[in-house]
A and B are shown apart, each in its own frame.
Chain A
Amino acid sequence: MNRMPVIVIGVFLTFLSSWIGLVAYPYFALGRFTPFTAEDTGDINPPPLSGLAVMGQRAYASSGCVYCHSQQVRQVGYGSDLERGWGSRPTVARDYMRQNPVFLGTMRTGPDLANIGARQPSSMWHHQHLYQPTVVSPGSIMPSFRYLYRTQKIEGQRSANAIDLLPPDAPADGYEVVPTYEAEALVAYLLSLNRNYPLPEAPEPPQ
């Protein structure tokens, strides 16, 4: 192997094969979905995200949630995802067509969030959890995201979006803790995570 062309052509062809198989093929097979419209209800699935949830998707990336939370319910036979109630069916490629970047995740220091909007539908719960995780989830090692919240003096009436906090996190008398726009967006995004809608290629497994 003393000739440059042999090496260059060889490394080109071997790599090209993986580029075709693992990049070009997925691009055509998994990257060009259209949403599915249910004939009876007219529902469009996966449903489009609200503007606020799109901003929240960005906040999810910016705060690096993906380093501890996956968003995938694995197929039957791969772990106990379904038994844990993390979803009513395994997730499929079309579920992610609106997600950018995709948050499949590789680590479960925290639980899966593929359907967290269905499992925890209360926005107050999410705010309390983000502000001080151990209050609603004892034993958790999730960090506090209180940098996404503001403590302010109550002027007149308490703000409608002020969050209820227990001591020691409760603010001093006359003060309240309110979410910033980023926190509101993040919670809107978390609440939008619900992939229990029907898709023809993803039947619910028998119980």
Chain B
Amino acid sequence: MSMTFDHPVTTPELDKAERALIDESTRIPVLLFYGSAVFWLLIGTLFALLASFKMNAPHFLDQWGWLTFGRVRPAHLNAVAYGWASPAGIGTALWLMARLCRVPLRNSGLLICAAIFWNIGILLGIFGILSGDGRSIEWLEFPNYASFMLFVAFGLIAVWAVIMFRFRRPGHVYVSQWYLLAAFLWFPWLYSTANILLNFEPIQGGAQGAVNWWYGHNALGLWFTPIGLAAAYYLIPKVLGRPIHSYYLSILGFWSLALFYSWNGMHHLIGGPFPAWLVSASVVASMMMFIPVITTAINHHMTVRGNFHALKWSPTLRFTVFGAMCYTLSSVQGIFMAIPSLNKVTHFTHYTVGHAHLGLYAFFTMIMFGSMYYILPRVVGWEWPSARLIRWHFWLSAIGIGVMVIALTIGGLLQGLALLDPGVTFMASLDYAKPWLLLRSGSGILLTGAHIVFAVSFTLLVLKTGKRREGPTLFGTDQGEQPEALIP
């Protein structure tokens, strides 16, 4: 099997007209999911700012139950996880599926229904949390009337994915498709099991913790991660015009992720009221994550190697490679956090919040931005209106998330070390964290700026404003520079 075999464009090559036809067939569903994703990103960011400010100034907006910290925080998590990240991932996945199956998108009615159900679900869920119906089960706060809508939407999308895969044009199945198909099959199962056992027919509390973190960790590992990796596996070789380094590493990375990630969740319960073997199994599975993580990191790195100059020009590549590198970083960090002697320090502190943002933002969200920069011009038939806006977006989000993760990591470590020492009062452990929480709010303002810039850019693109461009919008071209040869 030759290495060029594993390339998203070589087997068998579609001509330009066929690609355009496929892109056009995805327009309405992709725009529906992407548009709602950007909308919920702004809402979720607003909740994030509120929650962060409340930690600096507890009196801020404390007169209404609707805006109390304990409701704004889950409103933030759910708005960004289910409102932004999931629809952004689904939009990306739809387009990738159509391109990689090499057929125009079929049964778009299923997807349009799913998008409608989805958005109603998010709206009801956020409203439910703010009005006091939230369940206080991390990652599963939505009341039943909202999670049911999301489940219907997930189900429709899973059915669509199977149909789409079934009617693909014969030939090679690219690595991105394995990840997408797996994510679409795993998530409805995961989501329904967890909701039934925790919300619809709650089991006893002692067992709820296990199910909660089986879900919470797998939502990241078996839903967001495969979609993010599928996008990276497609975009990096595509933009660079060269094949993925190794087909065999791709296979090893995929199956080891499937096997080990799904067993990780109990490391959230180290030291808690659970049988030792259950927690140990997850700690071991977490260690084993080195295999898929290092495999994927090598595969991506070797693909980009020798072409890092392209990061200077291509927005897609810059966001995607940033995200892929942060995947390695956050995964390795996560593995260390599962070691009990280190977990003792970081558990119950803001360190964990930093880790979550490294994964869901620096890895997943950045790759979703990269995907949107690649996919939207093809779907809309219009190039991005301004390279300057994209540049602002990149630097605000990259610096913003960098500062946030560093602040929460340091603050969390200080807080955790203080908590371990019974000679330090509890209040002192909080005092260690306070200045870093202030810095976190500062980084949140940068991220808010990034999201507003992106939303403006997105709107201008969809409205097809500005002059028609000949080629793709690359960094530097607005400053009179000429990019070296590069497939956008």
Interface size class of A (residues with CB under 8 A): 35 or more
Chain A nearest Cβ from B217, distance in angstroms: 9
Q: In the complex, which residues 18-36 of chain A have their Cβ closer than 8 Å to any Cβ of chain B?
A: 18-19, 21-23, 25-27, 29-33
Main SS class of interface, B: helix
A26 vs B278: C-alpha distance when bound (angstroms): 9
Please give, as numbers and ranges, the residues of chain B lying within 8 Å of A148 by CB-CB distance: 65
Task: Say yes or no for B488: interface residue by CB 8 A criterion.
Answer: no
Measured in the bound complex, the distance between the Cα atoms of B134 and A27 in whole Å is 24
Smallest CB gap from A72: residue in B: B272
Q: Does B189 contact A (CB under 8 A)?
A: yes
Complex Cα–Cα for A88 and B247 (A): 56
Which residues of chain A come closer than 8 Å to B481, judged between CB atoms?
none
The secondary-structure label for the interface of chain A is loop
Cα separation A33 to B204 with both chains bound (whole Å): 8
In the complex with contacts A15-B186, A106-B352, A64-B204 CB distance below 8 A: no
A92: chain B residues at CB < 8 Å are 273
How distant is B280 from chain A, measured CB to nearest CB, in Å? Answer: 12
Interface residues as binary, B242-278 with A (CB distance below 8 Å gives 1, 0 otherwise): 0000000001000100110011011011111111001
Interface residue A141 (Cβ < 8 Å from any Cβ of B): yes
Cβ 8 A contact of B69, one of A64, A70, A97, A99: A64
Selected from A61, A99, A102, A141, the residue in CB contact (under 8 A) with B55 is A141
CB distance from B36 to the nearest CB of A (A): 25
A64 to B255, CA, bound (A): 38
> Given A12-B185, A23-B214, A147-B63, does the pair A64, B434 have CB atoms closer than 8 Å?
no
Q: Is B467 an interface residue (CB 8 A)?
A: no
Q: Is the CB of B422 within 8 A of A84?
A: yes
Q: B212 near A: Cβ within 8 Å? A: yes
- The answer to whether the Cβ of A90 comes within 8 Å of any Cβ in the partner chain is yes
Q: B135 and A61: CB pair below 8 A?
A: yes
- Given the contacts A1-B251, A14-B258, A64 and B420 also touching, CB distance less than 8 Å: no
Considering the complex, give the chain B residue whose CB is closest to the CB of A70: B348
Partner of B255, one of A10, A77, A102: A10
Binds B, one of A107-115, A120-128, A154-162: A107-115
| A102-B205 in contact (CB<8A) | yes
- Which residues in chain B, 45-89, are within 8 Å of chain A measured between CB atoms? 54-55, 58-59, 62-65, 68-71, 73-74
- In the complex, whether A91 has a CB less than 8 A from a CB of chain B is yes
CB distance from B44 to the nearest CB of A (A): 16
Q: How many residues of B contact A (CB 8 A)?
A: 88
Query: Inside 8 A of A31's CB, which chain B residues have their CB?
Result: 203-204, 206-208
Residues A97 and B352 in contact, CB atoms below 8 Å apart: no
B166 at the interface (CB under 8 A from A): yes
Segment touching A, from B357-365, B424-432, B454-462, B471-479: B424-432
Query: Is B132 a contact partner of A62 (Cβ separation < 8 A)?
Result: yes
Q: Beyond A11-B182, A79-B420, A95-B273, is A23–B263 a contact (Cβ under 8 Å)?
A: no
Q: Which of A135-150 contact B (CB under 8 A)?
A: 137-148
A84 / chain B contacts, CB cutoff of 8 Å = 422, 426
| Contact call B348/A106, Cβ cutoff below 8 A | yes
Residues of B within 8 A of A29 (CB): 207, 275
Within B387-431, the residues touching A (CB, 8 Å) are 419-422, 426-427, 429-431
Per-position binary interface string of chain A over residues 57-73, scored 1 when its CB falls under 8 Å from any chain B CB and 0 otherwise? 00011111111101010
Residues of A contacting B263 with CB < 8 Å? Answer: 17-18, 21-22
**Which of chain A's residues has its CB closest to B69's CB?**
A143
